Amino acid sequence: MTKLRSRLRLWWLMVAVAFVAVLLKWLPAVAVVASVGIVLVVLIPVACSPPERRLAIATWTVTLHPVMVPVYLYATWATAWWVLGHRPRLFLDDPKDLGLFVAVPFAMTYLAFLAWPISFVTGFFLTVDWSRTEPVLYPRLIIVPIAWLGTLVALMWDPLRVSRGTSTE
């Protein structure tokens, strides 16, 4: 049994390396680093959880992944502020042109926006699969819509004024 487990682990490692190699061939390095970072946000909690709870943790992390969009957005903004030495100005300081340190969180924000429908559909199917073993879905039916609506409100409210620029410069 131990040999079988080690073979499966080696096989998954080979698949992961092949996947990253294909990504490196087709995508720019910034997009590969950003996509690996986004995947790690989901995989690290799953890998740290006990085996009997992995499906539940995977379901929660995938369905709540859009909550990370404002985190990536503000990380991009804070990194651009750090690189520039002043607050990024709207329409003047493009994150793509500020170097690798800003391009990675910018690509993570972009990919996270693209992943919203994927995380919604995947979360729905994982929830349906999880409901066969977990009888109580009330937390999921309450927390997930509140988290998604909270994310939309945070993006529209923009408490750090990322989309408004600065009036002092």
pLDDT digits (tens, 9 = 90+) for 111-136: 888 888 888 777 777 777 666 666 66
Percent of the chain at pLDDT > 70 equals 82
Residue 168 maps to a domain: no
Residue 57 belongs to what domain range?
Answer: 31-157
What pTM was estimated for this model as a whole?
Answer: 0.72
Measured in residues, the chain has a length of: 169
Residue 48 maps to a domain: yes
Q: What is each CA distance from 3 to 13, 51, 155, in whole angstroms?
A: 15, 19, 49
Residue 90 maps to a domain: yes
Residue 15 maps to a domain: no
Residue 5 maps to a domain: no
Residue 164 maps to a domain: no
- Our count of domains for the chain comes to 1
